[in-house]
Structure 1
Amino acid sequence: MSRVYLEALEVVPNGETPEFIRVDITGKTDAEVASIKADVVAIMNGKTYILRKHFCGHEDGLACRMIEWT
């Protein structure tokens, strides 16, 4: 089974290290995912960032797929 992650990646100028958060949401309910997403958004408050859903295919020998999440 492929893993699914919620990721937040801060957008920063070249040379700076961005804030990065990855949370495994595989098998979580919609309510659990909504709560996790709210927590991540709160942590990233005040930053410019990309929120995305990461479908990891590595365990199945496949490429990963990511979609922006609003």
Structure 2
Amino acid sequence: MASFTDLMPGLAALRRYRFRSDFSHDLFAGLSVAAVALPVSIAYAELAGLSPAVGLYASIGPCWFVRSSERRRS
């Protein structure tokens, strides 16, 4: 029978996560990606002749889908 960490390999990494030293770097990385991804998605929506809001939904939608499907899987 597989152990719980075999089924969810990310748990081992979470146990080793050093919040005080790693969180600021992770936050900066997330904000950097958002600062690039959001304007790009708005620009692609406008190039396609769609509303800029469609570009925002297109960039935020996958994040919402992944989070909602995680709850269904557990």
TM-score by length of 2: 0.29
TM-score by length of 1: 0.30
- Looking at secondary structure, tell me which structure has more strand per residue: 1
Work out which structure has the larger RCO, using CA pairs closer than 8 Å and 6 or more positions apart in sequence.
Answer: 1
